């Protein structure tokens, strides 16, 4: 049997992790929401063939990103290079409770040219079993590229492909809230594995509680997946895991990539055929571990 093929679409960036506002040095890493999930998924499930789909520039930082992705045993044959563009960069500062503040330099990011014009990658994605993307993926695309991708995903799904989606909502990336609501709602209607966060959904759609989010997504057809609810733990979208207790993190250093790592743990268990309870617990346990370290990516275990 051939390996399951998984493609994550999004932006990879250089990450500068700072120790407080007075820091004079930074820890340098490579991260990005869908890339974080791809890295953790490959570590948890090495039998899955994982590819990352993005565009990079031709600068030294782009080379650094590409090499870092390859070191994680993730395929980079669908990483394009865009002359005249560069890699995106962001800096994280965390407070004493692990809460983050970000500064971004991504206006010239090559990833913003992904699927721009005739989309060279889309037909190459036809052979993947699962395609994973987020609302950040959508937000950085030009409107025409976003529409092209959505139309292709509709066709991909009719041929049996599965779509996993996380509605990471970053207001600064969108022209306005109405555009974000329209585009994210359209993706929910195409989603087979939904991985929303209550905070994001509430901020964008005004849902007053997790039950309201689950009901709205159910109307869109999302019944497989989990709603991330912070320290209280995730909720199954189909209601099958009611009553599970999730131990909160006892050590919170940095909340960066907590949601992304949850997605990876959940997906690794789901794609391995584990029970829904086990999927939720696998995601939660990995997120708790990630909360205890600085930066998005845990050090690789020997």
Angle at the Cα of 198 from the Cα atoms of 28 and 251, rounded to 5 degrees:
50
Which is more confident, 245 or 216? 216
pLDDT tens for residues 241-266? 667 888 888 888 878 899 999 999 99
Query: Residue 251 and residue 274: Cα distance in Å, rounded?
Result: 28
Among 1-10, 125-134, 148-157, the least confident range:
1-10
CA distances from 89 to 12, 17, 144, 208, 249 (A): 9, 11, 25, 34, 29
Q: What mean pLDDT do residues 278-292 have?
A: 94
Alpha helices in the chain, H assignment, sequence order: 33-44, 60-71, 135-140, 143-158, 177-188, 198-205, 210-219, 258-271, 276-291
Confidence of residue 16 (pLDDT cuts 50, 70, 90): confident
Positions marked catalytic: 260
Query: Residue 116 and residue 112: Cα distance in Å, rounded?
Result: 8
Q: What mean pLDDT do residues 294-301 have?
A: 84
Residue 157, SS3 per DSSP = helix
Confidence of residue 141 (pLDDT cuts 50, 70, 90): very high
Residue 1, C-beta contacts closer than 8 angstroms, at least 6 positions apart: none
120 has pLDDT over 60: no
**Which pair of tokens denotes residue 224?**
């497989």
Residue 16, C-beta contacts closer than 8 angstroms, at least 6 positions apart: 26, 27, 28, 89, 90, 91, 92
pLDDT tens for residues 25-55? 777 889 999 999 999 999 999 999 999 999 9
- Which domains occur in the chain, in start order? 5-119+132-291 (3.40.1190.20)
Query: Residue 6 and residue 38: Cα distance in Å, rounded?
Result: 9
């Amino acid at each position: 049997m051939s390996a399951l093929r998984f493609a994550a679409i999004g932006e990879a960036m250089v990450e500068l992790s700072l120790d407080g506002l007075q820091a004079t040095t930074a820890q340098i890493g490579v991260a990005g929401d869908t890339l974080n999930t791809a890295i953790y998924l490959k570590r948890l499930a090495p039998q899955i063939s994982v590819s990352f789909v993005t565009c990079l520039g031709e600068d030294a930082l782009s080379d650094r990103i590409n090499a870092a992705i390859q070191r994680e045993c993730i395929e980079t044959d669908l990483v394009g290079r865009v002359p005249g563009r560069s890699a995106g960069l962001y800096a994280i500062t965390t407070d004493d409770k692990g809460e983050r503040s970000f500064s971004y330099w991504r206006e010239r990011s090559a990833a913003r040219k992904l699927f721009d014009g005739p989309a060279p990658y889309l037909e190459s994605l036809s052979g993947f079993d699962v395609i994973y993307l987020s609302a950040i993926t959508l937000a950085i695309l030009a409107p025409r590229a976003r529409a092209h991708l959505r139309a292709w995903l509709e066709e991909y799904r009719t041929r049996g492909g599965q779509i996993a989606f996380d509605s990471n909502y970053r207001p600064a990336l969108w022209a306005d809230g109405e555009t974000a609501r329209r585009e994210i709602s359209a993706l929910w209607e195409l989603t087979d594995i939904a991985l929303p966060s209550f905070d994001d959904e509430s901020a964008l759609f005004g849902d007053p509680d997790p039950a309201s989010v689950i009901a709205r997504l159910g109307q869109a057809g999302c019944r497989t997946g989990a709603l991330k609810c912070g320290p209280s733990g995730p909720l199954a979208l189909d209601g099958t895991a009611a009553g599970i207790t999730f131990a909160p993190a006892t050590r919170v250093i940095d909340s960066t990539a907590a949601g992304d790592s949850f997605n990876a743990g959940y997906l690794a268990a789901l794609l391995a055929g584990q029970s829904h309870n086990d999927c939720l617990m696998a995601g939660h346990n990995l997120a708790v571990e990630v909360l205890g370290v600085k930066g998005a990516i845990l050090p690789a275990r020997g």
